[in-house]
């Protein structure tokens, strides 16, 4: 669970897993969700089809979101009401984010737990990140999932 080998290592909580199905990736998302609160930003990175939306779906379900969770293809984001509001952004189509575009995105982060796919497209505009998730293909049904945080999330 704790992968710090050197004292200076800034990563306190780190989880590495290989999931064997979409359901297992959703379950990891749910585990992370339990450690989150309003104001937390979670980046979810990985190539096309790696399972980013699947991970976010599991987290959103655990946070009480009942709507279908799909990649926000035609809008950049969705915001779901709930005990803690949840936002899901997909920045795949975002390029060269500037102050004006960021102004449009900022409300998604206001008081929410926000999950951001393709975070690398946000440049330096994202608020501080509570946890970063990275997914990668192993084969058709297996994915390598890493969750890193500077806090001990007790996952």
Ligand X SMILES: Nc1ncnc2c1ncn2[C@@H]1O[C@H](COP(=O)(O)OP(=O)(O)OP(=O)(O)O)[C@@H](O)[C@H]1O
Shortest spacing between CB 100 and ligand X, in angstroms: 25
CA-wise closest residue to 59 among 138, 131, 123: 131
Site for Mg ion in 64-123 (CB under 5 A): 71
Compute the distance between CA of residue 24 and CA of residue 28 in angstroms, rounded to an integer: 6
The answer to whether 42 and 36 have CB atoms below 8 angstroms apart is yes
Q: Does 5 bind ligand X (CB under 6 A)?
A: no
21 binds, among Mg ion, ligand X, none (CB under 5 to 8 A by kind): ligand X
The footprint of ligand X on residues 124-153 (CB under 6 A) is: 141-143
**Partner interacting with residue 112 (select from ligand X, Mg ion, none; CB below 5-8 Å by kind):** none
Give the nearer residue to ligand X in terms of CB position, either 134 or 150.
Answer: 134
Asked whether position 22 contacts ligand X by CB under 6 A, the answer is: yes
Which residues fall within 8 angstroms of residue 29, CB to CB, at 6 or more apart? 54, 55, 56, 57, 58, 59, 60, 62
The smaller minimum CB distance to ligand X, of residues 13 and 51, is found at 51
| Residue 69 backbone dihedrals phi, psi, to 5 degrees | -105, 110
C-alpha–C-alpha distance, residues 110 and 113, integer Å = 9
76, two tokens: 């950049």
Residue 53 touching Mg ion (CB under 5 A): yes
Reported as type and span, the H/E element at residue 45 is: strand 41-45
Asked if 68 touches ligand X (CB under 6 A), the answer is no
Q: Which is nearer to Mg ion, 7 or 74 (CB)?
A: 74
Contact between 49 and ligand X by CB under 6 A: the answer reads: yes
Binding site for ligand X (CB under 6 A): 19-22, 24-25, 46, 48-54, 71, 117, 141-143
């Amino acid at each position: 669970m704790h992968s710090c080998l050197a004292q200076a290592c800034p990563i306190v909580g780190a989880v590495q897993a290989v999931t064997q199905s979409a359901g297992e990736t959703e379950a990891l998302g749910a585990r992370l969700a339990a450690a989150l609160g309003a104001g937390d930003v979670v980046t979810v990175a990985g190539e096309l089809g790696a399972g980013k939306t699947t991970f976010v779906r599991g987290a959103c379900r655990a946070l009480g979101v009942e709507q279908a969770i799909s990649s926000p293809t035609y809008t950049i984001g969705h915001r779901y009401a709930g005990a803690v509001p949840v936002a899901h952004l997909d920045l795949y189509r975002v390029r060269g984010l500037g102050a004006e575009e960021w102004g449009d995105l900022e409300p998604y982060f206001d008081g929410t737990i926000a999950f951001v796919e393709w975070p690398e497209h946000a440049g330096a505009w994202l608020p501080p990140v509570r946890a970063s998730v990275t997914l990668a293909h192993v084969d058709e049904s297996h994915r390598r999932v890493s969750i890193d945080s500077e806090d001990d999330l007790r996952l």
